Structure 1
Amino acid sequence: MSAARPIDEHIVLVTGGGRGLGAHIVRAVADHGARVVINYRSSAAAADRLAADLGANALALRADVTDARAVRAMVDTAAEHFGSPITTVVNNALPDYSFNGDHRSHLDDLTWEEIDAQLRGVVGGALNTTQAATPGMRAAGGGRIINIGTNLVHNPVVPYHDYTAAKSALLGLTRTMSHDLGPDGITVNMVSGGLLRTTDASSATPDEVFDAIAAATPLRAVTTPAEFADAVLFFLSPWSRAVTGQNLVVDGGLVKN
């Protein structure tokens, strides 16, 4: 079954894989021999450079994850290119967002449009990729869905209301999907990080915020994107074959889940 398949036998779709955390996840799975589909929406140049750097085992494909038809076409193109279906989806794509609490809407001026944009991108995108990829996973004997979350669901210390609400909903979807897909040998888990040092999304974060987080963390350091990507590999590996419906928080121990 795919649930016990070695990493180098997987075909992995990473949404939002052209830059930031997604690119680190792409490199991590490629370094362990997996074939990888680098999904992007607007980062064509970065995704193409990454694919060229990784060679024949990487394919960059554009699709807006909120567009179900485009996602299905991407999944079909990947399967045709590699000669096998996608067996792992990493739902990492995020609508445009700046992680700077000083510039985010607070409750008094928060709009439904802001929340809806995050829900459509985070939850709607994960639903689209899962629905497109699971038929191929069933045919392959199983697979992995790995959703990217946030420790703000457990410790909402900054007013990212829209982002945190969407990731909370994604955690709920992770758990309900694990029940539906478990009989097919498909595991569904979440890896949740805190502020990462540094990605495109966190580049606007003031240094004093990073320093305060490091001081409050048992490891006295802010987690890096590469360290976070290592945890994603666990859910892709055979070692997690009996784990599903879980949320692993990777933030140096700042939040105890």
Structure 2
Amino acid sequence: MSRPIADLTVLVTGAGRGLGAAIARAFAREGARVAINYRNSREAAEALVAELGERGAAFQADVTDPEQVSRMVDEITDRFTTPDVLVHNALADYAFNGDARAQLDSLRWAEISRQAETAVGGALNCIQALRPHFAAQGFGRVVTIGTNLVQNPVVPYHDYTAAKGALLAFTRTAAKELGPLGVTVNMVSGGLLRRTDASAATPDAVFDIIASQTPLGSVTTPEEMADTVLFFASRWARAVTGQNLIVDGGLVFG
């Protein structure tokens, strides 16, 4: 089963800014109804709604709290319809600053746990809230956001990368269980994006080095990555599930 993107209601977690906002814009551009989830970025989320018009609406919830997620889904259902597509983009506060990163001699488990609580716990809470709707209609799309650092930890951001690695595993196990319901579950993994709030601390020289190492000669933008998320929600990907597509200009193969 597949449906045109314009017929879908899409929930994008962590959509107030950065990559999440680019994903929200991409879906709205294709005519979807877009629920913009935010935790603290209220002003940015409301500004994005003003930009998208009637196709967008903002909903506050901390995705690590299942009760808040359930309330948010009810609010989205009242405003649009229950989401058919989940894009789990929410990220615990993080800055990609290689000089300031936690190293193994000082890293604490709580730092990994905090990242995993949002990455994996947030995905679990959102899927559980949407599963009855997916099952009732025999259709659903879940897209998680990963990182190419799992394949190529060129900078060892231990906490962030460990959480995203766990999310990749969860993406694949969820694909196995939800497949019989007509639900696909896939991951889109980017590299360093040029540019988001999370990558704002990255020096220009680092971007230039990365660009020089990619076959395409450029650093991926949030808009380019958002277009790949659209693919997994579209009818073109109706037979694809449990996959991790790396979108980084060819920096990492496989």
- Provide the residue aligned with 1:23 in structure 2: 21
Q: In the alignment, what sits opposite 2:218?
A: 221
TM-score between the two structures when normalised by the length of structure 1:
0.98
Corresponding residue for 1:154?
151
1:136-147 → structure 2 map (5 Å cutoff): 136-147=133-144
CA distance in 1, matches of 2:132, 2:49: 26
- Match of residue 4, structure 2, among 3, 6, 30: 6
Aligned counterpart, 1:104: 101
Partner AA of 1:102 in structure 2: D
- Identify the match of residue 83 of structure 2 among 83, 86, 94: 86
1:20 partner letter: G
Distance 2:122 2:82 in 1: 19
- Cα deviation, residue 108, structure 1: 0.9
**In the comparison of the two structures, how many residue pairs are matched?**
254
Of 95, 113, 116 in structure 2, the residue corresponding to residue 116 of structure 1 is 113
Q: Deviations over 1:10-33 (max 9, x none)?
A: 100000001010000000000000
Question: What is residue 73 of structure 1 aligned with on the other side?
Answer: 71
Contact 1:85–1:140 at 8 Å: present in 2 too? no
The equivalences for 1:139-218 within 5 A come to 139-218=136-215
The letter for the 2-side match of 1:252 is G
Richer in helix (by share): 1
* Two-structure CA RMSD over aligned residues (Å): 0.7
Name 2:32's counterpart in structure 1: 34
User: How far, CA to CA, are the matches of 1:140 and 1:23 in structure 2?
Assistant: 28
Distance in 2 between the 1:5 and 1:135 partners?
A: 18
1:141 to partner: Cα distance: 2.2
Asked if the contact 1:17–1:38 (Cα under 8 Å) also holds between the matched residues in 2, the reply is yes
* Local SS of the residue matching 1:122: helix
Q: The residue matched to 2:11 in structure 1 has which SS?
A: strand
Identity %: 63
Q: Give the alignment's TM-score, normalised by structure 2.
A: 0.99
The whole-number CA distance in structure 1 between the counterparts of 2:118 and 2:101 is 18
Q: How far does residue 46 in structure 1 lie from its aligned partner after superposition?
A: 0.7
Cα contact 1:87–1:140 (8 A) shared by 2? no
Q: Residues 121-145 of structure 1, C-alpha deviation per residue, up to 9 Å, x if partnerless?
A: 1110111111111211222221100
